[in-house]
Amino acid sequence: MTGRGVILLTGGNSGIGYACARRLARDGQAVVIASRDRVASAAAVARIRDETGNAGISEMGLDLGSCAAVRAFAREVEERDLPIRAMVCNAGLQASGKRLVRSADGYERTFAVNHLGHFLLVNLLLRRLAAHTPARILIVASGVHDPKCRTGMPKPDVGHFDVLAQTGGPRPDAFDARLAYVNSKLCNLWFAYELIRRLAAAGLSSKERPISVNAFEPGFVPGSGLAREYPPALRWIWHRVLPAVARAATRFTPSVNVTDTAGEALARLALDPSLERISGKYFPSHARWGEAPSSDASYDQTRAAALWDASVRCARLAPGESPLAG
């Protein structure tokens, strides 16, 4: 422990999150990695401790796809009295194909894990963050939230949020895994920007006691675990071929990266003292992780507020659970 509090990092046992955790550990930070696969998490912790000599790295089990599991996790944080001063909401999944998988609560899984689980987790831990200011919340989004981003992914098409929660898209009778992913990443930005407005309105974040909220975009980062549900041939290319291509390409385009570079850039947003009071910004790879605008749609306050209300309903967030639940 550094005496400065704990950084909670979701999805820190793999990919960008792992590289971020290692960078934070090198800086002497106390970090809790929160993921589902506890064997992988324990191995990640051991590797990071070995490499950095930082014994303040630990792991806890968290399943963002279950509101009950998120609540159990938050209770454990309370019981351990962890002084959380930063949350890095990095965990995420990208499904593949046309088969809709539901979360433990019956929601489309991509929406549930990439957005709803983090929405609930942040809300449940807000009082804890407010007690350890200056505090930071970082949301890992993706360039695919922006229709101008040319990746071959579909453009976001969200529709009504109650339908989105059920199918990941605007249609109650159709499912497209890639559309569910880009929509969940637009939700990440709406959540980040709405959270800032609500924190300020509730007097929970002030000049003197700031809780900053910023969004991060890693670029195209092959070699991570994100392709785990792709067909085997694509998975092989993602792990065996594309990292070498990315290593070469990154010199020419800032939007293609390896996990180490992206993870280190994410860690900087948690560490850099000059960012302590910077909030509501988007840090994308194409700007070499400086501030840049996110998509026009991401600044739509009406949509962001509607997503917030739908998320309160979906997570059954009760007024006593979060200062922002009302």
Ligand X SMILES: NC(=O)c1ccc[n+]([C@@H]2O[C@H](COP(=O)([O-])OP(=O)(O)OC[C@H]3O[C@@H](n4cnc5c(N)ncnc54)[C@H](OP(=O)(O)O)[C@@H]3O)[C@@H](O)[C@H]2O)c1
* Catalytic residue numbers, as ranges: 181
Q: Do 236 and 260 touch, CB atoms closer than 8 A?
A: no
Task: Write out the DSSP string of 210-222.
Answer: -EEEEEEE--B-T
Position of tokens 């990941």? 168
Distance separating alpha carbons of residues 130 and 271, to the nearest angstrom? 18
Q: Does 256 bind ligand X (CB under 6 A)?
A: no
Spatial neighbors of 53 by CB under 8 A, at least 6 apart, are none
Q: Does 65 bind ligand X (CB under 6 A)?
A: yes
Q: x/- contact string, 94-123, with ligand X (CB under 6 A)?
A: -------------------x----------
Task: Rule CB under 6 A: choose which of 10, 29, 167, 294 binds ligand X.
Answer: 10
Residue 91 vs 204, nearer CB to ligand X: 91
Task: Rule CB under 6 A: choose which of 62, 120, 186, 213 binds ligand X.
Answer: 62
Task: Rule CB under 6 A: choose which of 133, 224, 294, 298 binds ligand X.
Answer: 224
* Bond before 134 cis per omega within 30 degrees: yes
Task: Rule CB under 6 A: choose which of 5, 17, 156, 284 binds ligand X.
Answer: 17
Whole-angstrom CA distances from 74 to 62, 112, 132, 190 are: 9, 17, 16, 23
Q: Does 210 bind ligand X (CB under 6 A)?
A: no
Distance separating alpha carbons of residues 248 and 254, to the nearest angstrom? 11
The strands making up 30-35's β-sheet, listed across from edge to edge, are 57-61, 30-35, 6-10, 84-89, 135-140, 211-217, 282-284
Distance separating alpha carbons of residues 146 and 130, to the nearest angstrom? 31
Q: Does 142 bind ligand X (CB under 6 A)?
A: yes
Residue 14 vs 133, nearer CB to ligand X: 14
Q: Does 48 bind ligand X (CB under 6 A)?
A: no
Task: Rule CB under 6 A: choose which of 26, 40, 243, 297 binds ligand X.
Answer: 40
Q: Does 310 bind ligand X (CB under 6 A)?
A: no
Residues that contact ligand X, how many (by CB under 6 A):
28
User: 234 phi and psi, to 5 degrees?
Assistant: -65, -35
- Residue 319, classified by CB atoms within 10 Å of its CB into exposed (0-12), middle (13-18) or buried (19+), is exposed
Q: Does 261 bind ligand X (CB under 6 A)?
A: no
Q: Does 284 bind ligand X (CB under 6 A)?
A: no
Task: Rule CB under 6 A: choose which of 8, 16, 116, 196 binds ligand X.
Answer: 16
Residue 113 vs 135, nearer CB to ligand X: 113
Q: Does 8 bind ligand X (CB under 6 A)?
A: no
Spatial neighbors of 241 by CB under 8 A, at least 6 apart, are none
Task: Rule CB under 6 A: choose which of 6, 8, 9, 11 binds ligand X.
Answer: 11
Task: Rule CB under 6 A: choose which of 5, 168, 225, 284 binds ligand X.
Answer: 225
Q: How far is the CB of 158 from ligand X (least distance, A)?
A: 17
Bin 223: left if φ > 0, else alpha if -120 < ψ < 50, else beta: left
Q: Do 104 and 68 touch, CB atoms closer than 8 A?
A: yes
Residues 150-189 that bind ligand X (CB under 6 A): none
Q: Does 13 bind ligand X (CB under 6 A)?
A: yes
Residues that bind ligand X (CB under 6 A): 10-11, 13-17, 35-37, 40, 62-65, 90-93, 113, 140, 142, 218, 220-221, 224-226
